[in-house]
Structure 1
Amino acid sequence: MGMFSRMSDIIQANINGILDKAEDPVKMVKLLIQEMEETLVELRSVAATNLAEKRQVERQISKLKQQAADWQTKATLAIEKEREDLARAAIIEKHQCQQKLDALAEEMTAVEDVLSKLQQDTARLQDKLLEARTKQKSLMIRERSAAVRMTAKSKTHSVKIDDAIIRFEQYERRIDDLEAQVDAYDLVDESHSLHSQFKELESANQIEQELAELRKKVA
Protein backbone atom coordinates (compact mmCIF):
# COMPACT_ATOMS: atom_id res chain seq x y z
CA MET A 1 0.00 0.00 0.00
CA GLY A 2 1.07 3.59 -0.49
CA MET A 3 -0.30 5.85 2.20
CA PHE A 4 -0.87 3.14 4.78
CA SER A 5 1.73 0.55 5.71
CA ARG A 6 -0.66 -1.96 7.24
CA MET A 7 -4.33 -2.63 7.93
CA SER A 8 -4.23 -1.13 11.43
CA ASP A 9 -3.04 2.18 9.95
CA ILE A 10 -6.26 2.45 7.97
CA ILE A 11 -8.50 1.38 10.84
CA GLN A 12 -6.87 3.87 13.21
CA ALA A 13 -6.53 6.66 10.66
CA ASN A 14 -8.05 10.03 11.56
CA ILE A 15 -9.55 11.01 8.23
CA ASN A 16 -10.45 14.52 9.35
CA GLY A 17 -6.93 15.05 10.67
CA ILE A 18 -5.38 13.88 7.41
CA LEU A 19 -7.65 16.10 5.31
CA ASP A 20 -7.11 19.15 7.54
CA LYS A 21 -3.37 18.96 6.82
CA ALA A 22 -3.82 18.33 3.09
CA GLU A 23 -3.25 21.12 0.59
CA ASP A 24 -5.97 19.65 -1.63
CA PRO A 25 -8.52 17.83 0.60
CA VAL A 26 -10.68 16.73 -2.34
CA LYS A 27 -7.73 15.06 -4.06
CA MET A 28 -6.49 13.58 -0.77
CA VAL A 29 -9.84 12.00 0.16
CA LYS A 30 -10.00 10.52 -3.34
CA LEU A 31 -6.60 8.89 -2.77
CA LEU A 32 -7.72 7.63 0.65
CA ILE A 33 -10.81 6.03 -0.84
CA GLN A 34 -8.80 4.47 -3.66
CA GLU A 35 -6.35 2.90 -1.22
CA MET A 36 -9.13 1.67 1.04
CA GLU A 37 -10.91 0.08 -1.92
CA GLU A 38 -7.69 -1.63 -3.00
CA THR A 39 -7.13 -2.90 0.54
CA LEU A 40 -10.71 -4.17 0.66
CA VAL A 41 -10.09 -6.11 -2.56
CA GLU A 42 -6.97 -7.64 -1.00
CA LEU A 43 -8.89 -8.62 2.13
CA ARG A 44 -11.61 -10.28 0.08
CA SER A 45 -8.98 -12.15 -1.91
CA VAL A 46 -7.33 -13.45 1.28
CA ALA A 47 -10.76 -14.34 2.68
CA ALA A 48 -11.61 -16.27 -0.48
CA THR A 49 -8.36 -18.23 -0.19
CA ASN A 50 -9.09 -19.11 3.44
CA LEU A 51 -12.67 -20.08 2.64
CA ALA A 52 -11.38 -22.45 -0.04
CA GLU A 53 -8.95 -23.93 2.49
CA LYS A 54 -11.74 -24.30 5.02
CA ARG A 55 -13.89 -26.22 2.54
CA GLN A 56 -10.94 -28.48 1.73
CA VAL A 57 -10.35 -29.19 5.42
CA GLU A 58 -14.07 -29.84 5.89
CA ARG A 59 -13.98 -32.40 3.06
CA GLN A 60 -10.93 -34.08 4.59
CA ILE A 61 -12.58 -34.19 8.02
CA SER A 62 -15.74 -35.68 6.54
CA LYS A 63 -13.72 -38.29 4.66
CA LEU A 64 -11.66 -39.24 7.75
CA LYS A 65 -14.78 -39.49 9.91
CA GLN A 66 -16.27 -41.88 7.41
CA GLN A 67 -13.05 -43.90 7.36
CA ALA A 68 -12.94 -44.00 11.17
CA ALA A 69 -16.54 -45.21 11.23
CA ASP A 70 -15.72 -47.89 8.64
CA TRP A 71 -12.75 -49.15 10.68
CA GLN A 72 -14.94 -49.23 13.78
CA THR A 73 -17.47 -51.37 11.89
CA LYS A 74 -14.71 -53.67 10.67
CA ALA A 75 -13.28 -54.01 14.19
CA THR A 76 -16.72 -54.98 15.47
CA LEU A 77 -17.15 -57.50 12.69
CA ALA A 78 -13.72 -58.99 13.40
CA ILE A 79 -14.58 -59.40 17.09
CA GLU A 80 -17.85 -61.04 16.15
CA LYS A 81 -15.93 -63.45 13.92
CA GLU A 82 -13.39 -64.01 16.67
CA ARG A 83 -10.62 -62.42 14.65
CA GLU A 84 -9.03 -60.36 17.36
CA ASP A 85 -5.95 -59.71 15.21
CA LEU A 86 -8.06 -58.09 12.53
CA ALA A 87 -10.02 -56.18 15.14
CA ARG A 88 -6.76 -54.86 16.60
CA ALA A 89 -5.52 -53.77 13.15
CA ALA A 90 -8.86 -52.06 12.44
CA ILE A 91 -8.75 -50.18 15.72
CA ILE A 92 -5.18 -49.03 14.95
CA GLU A 93 -6.37 -47.67 11.59
CA LYS A 94 -9.26 -45.99 13.36
CA HIS A 95 -6.85 -44.32 15.82
CA GLN A 96 -4.69 -43.10 12.95
CA CYS A 97 -7.79 -41.55 11.38
CA GLN A 98 -8.60 -39.93 14.70
CA GLN A 99 -5.10 -38.46 14.99
CA LYS A 100 -5.47 -36.95 11.54
CA LEU A 101 -8.90 -35.63 12.56
CA ASP A 102 -7.38 -33.98 15.63
CA ALA A 103 -4.75 -32.27 13.46
CA LEU A 104 -7.39 -31.14 10.98
CA ALA A 105 -9.53 -29.83 13.83
CA GLU A 106 -6.63 -27.59 14.91
CA GLU A 107 -6.14 -26.48 11.33
CA MET A 108 -9.86 -25.73 11.05
CA THR A 109 -9.72 -23.65 14.22
CA ALA A 110 -6.80 -21.64 12.83
CA VAL A 111 -8.58 -21.07 9.51
CA GLU A 112 -11.78 -20.01 11.25
CA ASP A 113 -9.82 -17.61 13.46
CA VAL A 114 -8.26 -16.05 10.38
CA LEU A 115 -11.66 -15.78 8.68
CA SER A 116 -13.16 -14.22 11.79
CA LYS A 117 -10.34 -11.66 11.93
CA LEU A 118 -10.71 -10.95 8.21
CA GLN A 119 -14.45 -10.48 8.67
CA GLN A 120 -13.86 -8.00 11.50
CA ASP A 121 -11.19 -6.12 9.53
CA THR A 122 -13.43 -6.02 6.47
CA ALA A 123 -16.32 -4.61 8.51
CA ARG A 124 -14.05 -1.96 10.05
CA LEU A 125 -12.58 -1.07 6.70
CA GLN A 126 -16.05 -0.77 5.16
CA ASP A 127 -17.04 1.58 7.99
CA LYS A 128 -13.90 3.63 7.38
CA LEU A 129 -14.57 3.63 3.66
CA LEU A 130 -18.13 4.82 4.27
CA GLU A 131 -16.76 7.61 6.47
CA ALA A 132 -14.31 8.64 3.74
CA ARG A 133 -17.00 8.60 1.04
CA THR A 134 -19.32 10.67 3.22
CA LYS A 135 -16.49 13.14 3.77
CA GLN A 136 -15.81 13.18 0.03
CA LYS A 137 -19.44 14.07 -0.72
CA SER A 138 -19.31 16.83 1.89
CA LEU A 139 -16.09 18.25 0.43
CA MET A 140 -17.46 18.09 -3.12
CA ILE A 141 -20.65 19.90 -2.05
CA ARG A 142 -18.60 22.56 -0.27
CA GLU A 143 -16.31 22.92 -3.28
CA ARG A 144 -19.24 23.31 -5.70
CA SER A 145 -20.93 25.75 -3.33
CA ALA A 146 -17.77 27.82 -3.06
CA ALA A 147 -17.37 27.81 -6.85
CA VAL A 148 -20.99 28.93 -7.34
CA ARG A 149 -20.60 31.65 -4.71
CA MET A 150 -17.37 32.84 -6.29
CA THR A 151 -19.01 32.95 -9.73
CA ALA A 152 -21.96 34.84 -8.29
CA LYS A 153 -19.66 37.30 -6.53
CA SER A 154 -17.61 37.78 -9.69
CA LYS A 155 -20.76 38.51 -11.68
CA THR A 156 -22.05 40.83 -8.96
CA HIS A 157 -18.70 42.61 -8.87
CA SER A 158 -18.79 42.95 -12.64
CA VAL A 159 -22.33 44.32 -12.52
CA LYS A 160 -21.30 46.78 -9.80
CA ILE A 161 -18.42 48.00 -11.97
CA ASP A 162 -20.76 48.39 -14.95
CA ASP A 163 -23.24 50.28 -12.78
CA ALA A 164 -20.50 52.55 -11.49
CA ILE A 165 -19.36 53.31 -15.04
CA ILE A 166 -22.91 54.05 -16.12
CA ARG A 167 -23.49 56.32 -13.12
CA PHE A 168 -20.20 58.11 -13.79
CA GLU A 169 -21.19 58.68 -17.40
CA GLN A 170 -24.56 59.97 -16.23
CA TYR A 171 -22.80 62.35 -13.85
CA GLU A 172 -20.58 63.52 -16.69
CA ARG A 173 -23.61 64.18 -18.87
CA ARG A 174 -25.30 66.11 -16.05
CA ILE A 175 -22.17 68.18 -15.54
CA ASP A 176 -21.99 68.84 -19.28
CA ASP A 177 -25.65 69.93 -19.21
CA LEU A 178 -25.05 72.22 -16.25
CA GLU A 179 -21.97 73.75 -17.86
CA ALA A 180 -23.93 74.23 -21.09
CA GLN A 181 -26.69 75.98 -19.15
CA VAL A 182 -24.15 78.26 -17.51
CA ASP A 183 -22.57 79.05 -20.87
CA ALA A 184 -26.00 79.74 -22.26
CA TYR A 185 -26.70 82.18 -19.44
CA ASP A 186 -23.39 83.89 -20.13
CA LEU A 187 -24.26 84.22 -23.82
CA VAL A 188 -27.63 85.67 -22.95
CA ASP A 189 -26.11 88.07 -20.46
CA GLU A 190 -23.46 89.19 -22.95
CA SER A 191 -26.05 89.64 -25.67
CA HIS A 192 -28.30 91.55 -23.28
CA SER A 193 -25.42 93.77 -22.13
CA LEU A 194 -24.43 94.64 -25.70
CA HIS A 195 -28.00 95.45 -26.59
CA SER A 196 -28.29 97.68 -23.57
CA GLN A 197 -25.15 99.56 -24.46
CA PHE A 198 -26.45 100.28 -27.94
CA LYS A 199 -29.75 101.35 -26.45
CA GLU A 200 -27.92 103.71 -24.15
CA LEU A 201 -25.94 105.14 -27.07
CA GLU A 202 -29.08 105.62 -29.11
CA SER A 203 -30.83 107.24 -26.17
CA ALA A 204 -27.87 109.55 -25.53
CA ASN A 205 -27.80 110.49 -29.21
CA GLN A 206 -31.48 111.41 -29.13
CA ILE A 207 -30.90 113.48 -26.04
CA GLU A 208 -28.04 115.33 -27.71
CA GLN A 209 -30.19 115.98 -30.77
CA GLU A 210 -33.03 117.37 -28.68
CA LEU A 211 -30.59 119.57 -26.76
CA ALA A 212 -29.17 120.87 -30.03
CA GLU A 213 -32.63 121.70 -31.30
CA LEU A 214 -33.46 123.50 -28.08
CA ARG A 215 -30.28 125.53 -28.31
CA LYS A 216 -31.20 126.62 -31.83
CA LYS A 217 -34.61 127.70 -30.76
CA VAL A 218 -33.29 129.63 -27.83
CA ALA A 219 -30.69 131.33 -29.97
Structure 2
Amino acid sequence: MGIFTRFRDIVSANINAMLDRAEDPEKLIKLMIREMEDTLVELKSSCAGTIASQKKVSRLLEETCDKEAFWDQKAALAVSRGRDDLARQALLEKRRFSQRCEAVEQELTELKSIVAQYQDDIQELENKLKSAREKQRMLVQRHIRAQRKKKAHQEIRRVDSAQVVQRFDEMESNIERMEAEADLVNFGRKSDIEAAFEELSADDEIEQQLTELKSSQTRPKDDTVSH
Protein backbone atom coordinates (compact mmCIF):
# COMPACT_ATOMS: atom_id res chain seq x y z
CA MET A 1 0.00 0.00 0.00
CA GLY A 2 1.42 3.41 -1.02
CA ILE A 3 2.00 6.23 1.39
CA PHE A 4 -0.80 8.35 -0.01
CA THR A 5 -3.27 5.48 0.08
CA ARG A 6 -2.40 4.75 3.70
CA PHE A 7 -2.61 8.43 4.55
CA ARG A 8 -6.06 8.80 3.01
CA ASP A 9 -7.28 5.65 4.75
CA ILE A 10 -5.98 6.91 8.08
CA VAL A 11 -7.35 10.44 7.95
CA SER A 12 -10.72 9.24 6.70
CA ALA A 13 -11.01 6.57 9.39
CA ASN A 14 -13.54 7.06 12.15
CA ILE A 15 -11.47 6.17 15.20
CA ASN A 16 -14.38 6.12 17.63
CA ALA A 17 -16.44 3.81 15.45
CA MET A 18 -13.51 1.46 14.95
CA LEU A 19 -12.78 1.34 18.66
CA ASP A 20 -16.44 0.71 19.47
CA ARG A 21 -16.44 -2.34 17.21
CA ALA A 22 -13.05 -3.64 18.36
CA GLU A 23 -12.75 -6.58 20.75
CA ASP A 24 -9.55 -5.07 22.17
CA PRO A 25 -9.71 -1.26 21.79
CA GLU A 26 -6.37 -0.67 23.50
CA LYS A 27 -4.55 -3.01 21.14
CA LEU A 28 -6.27 -1.49 18.12
CA ILE A 29 -5.46 2.10 19.10
CA LYS A 30 -1.81 1.13 19.58
CA LEU A 31 -1.72 -0.35 16.08
CA MET A 32 -3.42 2.74 14.65
CA ILE A 33 -0.97 5.07 16.36
CA ARG A 34 1.97 3.02 15.13
CA GLU A 35 0.61 3.14 11.58
CA MET A 36 0.08 6.90 11.86
CA GLU A 37 3.60 7.43 13.19
CA ASP A 38 5.14 5.33 10.41
CA THR A 39 3.11 7.15 7.77
CA LEU A 40 4.02 10.50 9.30
CA VAL A 41 7.72 9.62 9.14
CA GLU A 42 7.36 8.70 5.46
CA LEU A 43 5.42 11.87 4.71
CA LYS A 44 8.04 14.06 6.37
CA SER A 45 10.81 12.20 4.58
CA SER A 46 9.09 12.62 1.22
CA CYS A 47 8.38 16.26 1.99
CA ALA A 48 12.04 16.84 2.89
CA GLY A 49 13.11 15.19 -0.38
CA THR A 50 10.70 17.36 -2.36
CA ILE A 51 11.93 20.51 -0.59
CA ALA A 52 15.49 19.54 -1.53
CA SER A 53 14.40 19.09 -5.15
CA GLN A 54 12.60 22.40 -5.00
CA LYS A 55 15.78 24.18 -3.89
CA LYS A 56 17.77 22.47 -6.63
CA VAL A 57 15.25 23.44 -9.30
CA SER A 58 15.12 26.96 -7.91
CA ARG A 59 18.87 27.28 -8.40
CA LEU A 60 18.56 25.80 -11.88
CA LEU A 61 15.85 28.34 -12.72
CA GLU A 62 18.06 31.18 -11.56
CA GLU A 63 20.97 29.89 -13.68
CA THR A 64 18.74 29.38 -16.72
CA CYS A 65 17.26 32.85 -16.45
CA ASP A 66 20.78 34.27 -16.08
CA LYS A 67 21.76 32.47 -19.30
CA GLU A 68 18.73 33.91 -21.05
CA ALA A 69 19.72 37.41 -19.96
CA PHE A 70 23.32 36.71 -20.97
CA TRP A 71 22.43 35.84 -24.59
CA ASP A 72 20.04 38.76 -24.78
CA GLN A 73 22.94 41.06 -23.95
CA LYS A 74 25.17 39.29 -26.51
CA ALA A 75 22.53 39.72 -29.23
CA ALA A 76 22.31 43.44 -28.45
CA LEU A 77 26.11 43.73 -28.57
CA ALA A 78 26.30 41.94 -31.94
CA VAL A 79 23.66 44.23 -33.43
CA SER A 80 25.54 47.27 -32.17
CA ARG A 81 28.67 46.03 -33.89
CA GLY A 82 26.89 45.22 -37.15
CA ARG A 83 27.22 41.48 -36.66
CA ASP A 84 23.74 40.33 -37.53
CA ASP A 85 25.00 36.77 -37.96
CA LEU A 86 26.22 36.67 -34.38
CA ALA A 87 23.07 38.41 -33.22
CA ARG A 88 20.96 35.69 -34.81
CA GLN A 89 22.96 32.96 -33.04
CA ALA A 90 22.71 34.82 -29.75
CA LEU A 91 18.95 35.17 -30.14
CA LEU A 92 18.67 31.44 -30.86
CA GLU A 93 20.52 30.69 -27.58
CA LYS A 94 18.37 33.19 -25.79
CA ARG A 95 15.20 31.47 -27.06
CA ARG A 96 16.53 28.06 -26.03
CA PHE A 97 17.24 29.22 -22.50
CA SER A 98 13.96 31.12 -22.42
CA GLN A 99 12.06 27.93 -23.23
CA ARG A 100 14.13 26.05 -20.69
CA CYS A 101 13.44 28.75 -18.15
CA GLU A 102 9.67 28.38 -18.67
CA ALA A 103 9.90 24.60 -18.24
CA VAL A 104 11.99 24.86 -15.07
CA GLU A 105 9.68 27.51 -13.70
CA GLN A 106 6.71 25.18 -14.30
CA GLU A 107 8.56 22.36 -12.56
CA LEU A 108 9.32 24.63 -9.62
CA THR A 109 5.67 25.63 -9.36
CA GLU A 110 4.64 21.98 -9.28
CA LEU A 111 7.23 21.19 -6.62
CA LYS A 112 6.03 24.08 -4.48
CA SER A 113 2.48 22.75 -4.79
CA ILE A 114 3.62 19.25 -3.77
CA VAL A 115 5.51 20.63 -0.76
CA ALA A 116 2.46 22.62 0.29
CA GLN A 117 0.30 19.50 -0.03
CA TYR A 118 2.81 17.49 1.98
CA GLN A 119 2.77 20.15 4.70
CA ASP A 120 -1.04 20.12 4.78
CA ASP A 121 -1.08 16.33 4.94
CA ILE A 122 1.53 16.31 7.71
CA GLN A 123 -0.49 18.81 9.72
CA GLU A 124 -3.67 16.83 9.19
CA LEU A 125 -2.02 13.57 10.17
CA GLU A 126 -0.40 15.15 13.23
CA ASN A 127 -3.84 16.36 14.34
CA LYS A 128 -5.22 12.87 13.78
CA LEU A 129 -2.31 11.37 15.69
CA LYS A 130 -2.84 13.81 18.55
CA SER A 131 -6.49 12.80 18.71
CA ALA A 132 -5.54 9.11 18.66
CA ARG A 133 -3.02 9.57 21.46
CA GLU A 134 -5.61 11.40 23.52
CA LYS A 135 -8.02 8.55 22.88
CA GLN A 136 -5.30 6.09 23.92
CA ARG A 137 -4.69 8.07 27.11
CA MET A 138 -8.39 7.95 27.92
CA LEU A 139 -8.54 4.22 27.22
CA VAL A 140 -5.53 3.60 29.45
CA GLN A 141 -7.08 5.67 32.22
CA ARG A 142 -10.36 3.78 31.85
CA HIS A 143 -8.46 0.51 32.00
CA ILE A 144 -6.58 1.63 35.12
CA ARG A 145 -9.81 2.78 36.77
CA ALA A 146 -11.49 -0.51 35.88
CA GLN A 147 -8.60 -2.47 37.38
CA ARG A 148 -8.64 -0.35 40.53
CA LYS A 149 -12.41 -0.72 40.81
CA LYS A 150 -12.15 -4.48 40.40
CA LYS A 151 -9.38 -4.65 42.98
CA ALA A 152 -11.40 -2.47 45.35
CA HIS A 153 -14.46 -4.70 45.00
CA GLN A 154 -12.33 -7.77 45.61
CA GLU A 155 -10.81 -6.12 48.66
CA ILE A 156 -14.26 -5.15 49.92
CA ARG A 157 -15.50 -8.71 49.51
CA ARG A 158 -12.39 -10.02 51.22
CA VAL A 159 -12.74 -7.55 54.09
CA ASP A 160 -16.45 -8.24 54.42
CA SER A 161 -15.81 -11.98 54.65
CA ALA A 162 -13.08 -11.46 57.22
CA GLN A 163 -15.31 -9.15 59.24
CA VAL A 164 -18.15 -11.68 59.19
CA VAL A 165 -15.84 -14.39 60.48
CA GLN A 166 -14.45 -11.99 63.05
CA ARG A 167 -17.95 -11.05 64.24
CA PHE A 168 -18.88 -14.70 64.65
CA ASP A 169 -15.66 -15.33 66.57
CA GLU A 170 -16.40 -12.36 68.81
CA MET A 171 -19.97 -13.57 69.41
CA GLU A 172 -18.73 -17.05 70.27
CA SER A 173 -16.12 -15.60 72.65
CA ASN A 174 -18.75 -13.41 74.31
CA ILE A 175 -21.08 -16.36 74.81
CA GLU A 176 -18.29 -18.50 76.27
CA ARG A 177 -17.29 -15.66 78.58
CA MET A 178 -20.91 -15.22 79.77
CA GLU A 179 -21.18 -18.95 80.41
CA ALA A 180 -17.95 -18.90 82.39
CA GLU A 181 -19.14 -15.92 84.42
CA ALA A 182 -22.41 -17.73 85.17
CA ASP A 183 -20.50 -20.79 86.34
CA LEU A 184 -18.33 -18.62 88.58
CA VAL A 185 -21.39 -17.02 90.15
CA ASN A 186 -22.67 -20.43 91.35
CA PHE A 187 -19.23 -21.83 92.04
CA GLY A 188 -18.98 -23.10 95.69
CA ARG A 189 -22.65 -22.49 96.41
CA LYS A 190 -24.92 -25.41 97.24
CA SER A 191 -28.36 -25.77 95.86
CA ASP A 192 -31.39 -24.98 98.01
CA ILE A 193 -32.25 -28.62 98.62
CA GLU A 194 -28.66 -29.42 99.59
CA ALA A 195 -28.69 -26.52 102.00
CA ALA A 196 -32.02 -27.70 103.52
CA PHE A 197 -30.70 -31.19 104.17
CA GLU A 198 -27.52 -29.83 105.70
CA GLU A 199 -29.65 -27.64 107.92
CA LEU A 200 -31.67 -30.68 109.00
CA SER A 201 -28.47 -32.56 109.73
CA ALA A 202 -27.17 -29.64 111.74
CA ASP A 203 -30.42 -29.47 113.75
CA ASP A 204 -30.21 -33.19 114.57
CA GLU A 205 -26.68 -32.80 115.80
CA ILE A 206 -27.64 -29.90 118.03
CA GLU A 207 -30.60 -31.83 119.45
CA GLN A 208 -28.36 -34.79 120.20
CA GLN A 209 -25.81 -32.60 121.93
CA LEU A 210 -28.62 -30.92 123.89
CA THR A 211 -30.03 -34.30 124.98
CA GLU A 212 -26.61 -35.50 126.11
CA LEU A 213 -26.10 -32.28 128.04
CA LYS A 214 -29.44 -32.68 129.84
CA SER A 215 -28.75 -36.32 130.60
CA SER A 216 -25.44 -35.52 132.20
CA GLN A 217 -27.02 -32.93 134.44
CA THR A 218 -29.77 -35.29 135.76
CA ARG A 219 -27.42 -38.07 136.92
CA PRO A 220 -27.09 -38.68 140.73
CA LYS A 221 -24.09 -37.12 142.41
CA ASP A 222 -23.00 -40.37 144.04
CA ASP A 223 -22.73 -41.91 140.72
CA THR A 224 -20.43 -39.13 139.88
CA VAL A 225 -18.34 -39.67 143.09
CA SER A 226 -18.16 -43.39 142.61
CA HIS A 227 -16.68 -42.89 139.30
Cα drift, residue 146 of structure 1? 2.6
2:97 is matched by which residue type in structure 1? C
Q: Once the two structures are superposed, what CA deviation does each residue of 1:86-107 show, in whole Å capped at 9, x if it has no partner?
A: 1111011100111111211221
Aligned: 1:126 with 2:126: yes
Match of 2:106 in 1: 106
Match of 2:20 in 1: 20
Secondary structure of residue in 1 paired with 2:82: coil
Secondary structure of residue in 1 paired with 2:41: helix
Alignment RMSD (CA, Å)? 3.0
Match of 1:68 in 2: 68
How many Å separate the matches in 2 of 1:167 and 1:192? Answer: 39
Match of 2:6 in 1: 6
How many Å separate the matches in 2 of 1:135 and 1:123? Answer: 18
Give structure 1 regions of 4+ aligned residues with deviation exceeding 4 angstroms. 178-190, 197-207
How many Å separate the matches in 2 of 1:20 and 1:125? Answer: 21
Which protein shows a greater Rg?
A: 2
Deviates further, 150-159 or 50-59: 150-159
Secondary structure of residue in 2 paired with 1:6: helix
Q: TM-score, normalised by structure 2?
A: 0.78
Match of 1:215 in 2: none
Cα drift, residue 194 of structure 1? 3.4
Cα drift, residue 42 of structure 1? 0.2
Match of 1:195 in 2: 195
Q: TM-score, normalised by structure 1?
A: 0.81
Aligned pairs for 1:33-52 within 5 A: 33-52=33-52
Name the % identity: 35
2:38 is matched by which residue type in structure 1? E
Deviates further, 154-163 or 58-67: 154-163
Cα drift, residue 37 of structure 1? 0.8
Aligned pairs for 1:162-201 within 5 A: 162-180=162-180, 191-197=191-197, 199=199
Q: Once the two structures are superposed, what CA deviation does each residue of 1:65-109 show, in whole Å capped at 9, x if it has no partner?
A: 111001000000000001111111101110011111121122122
Match of 2:225 in 1: none
- Unaligned stretches of 5+ in structure 1? 208-219
How many Å separate the matches in 2 of 1:176 and 1:143? Answer: 49
How many Å separate the matches in 2 of 1:23 and 1:188? Answer: 77
Is contact 2:6–2:39 with CA below 8 Å preserved after alignment? Answer: no
How many Å separate the matches in 2 of 1:38 and 1:198? Answer: 107
